[in-house]
Amino acid sequence: MGDDLNKTNRTIRIIGVPPGEAPLWVREKWVGLELPLTRHSAPGAFYVYGALSIPRGRLAQWWGVIRGRAERVPGYVVESTDAVDILAASNPAAAAWWRKHTPHLIGPRRYLLFHEHVCQRVDV
């Protein structure tokens, strides 16, 4: 059974406009896209900041969590580079917004969280 589980493509489809700090027109472009999940294929509750207001350093982020400035959100985690590349295929302007305004979030070991209520699991 474990081998079968590993062969499953774990993806989510965005079925609603994600909340967040990006402009509405950018967030709307996520709707309908299928994004691959990270190793965290089940939804979890994570401490998150807004894409524009996230503190830049890890220490500052943890300090913000301790001070109650991060929100605990149930959702799905996706690799930011993969997500923005998929977005670029359907809407280059929306992907360009992410690359221009949030370059600190796009790269190796960087992730985006999509709220659980705007996602639908799609396991193929």
Q: Report the pLDDT value the prediction gives residue 16, as an integer from 0 to 100.
A: 98
b vs e for 8-21, b when ≥16 Cβ sit within 10 Å of the residue's Cβ? eebbbebeeebebe
For tokens 């509405």, the residue is 24
**pLDDT tens track, the chain, 124 positions:** 344 444 456 899 999 999 999 999 999 999 999 999 987 677 788 867 677 767 677 776 667 667 777 778 899 999 999 999 999 999 999 999 999 999 988 998 889 999 999 999 997 6
Is this structure's pTM higher than 0.75? yes
CA nearest neighbour of 86 among 41, 35, 18, 39: 35
Contact 116, 13 (CB under 8 A): no
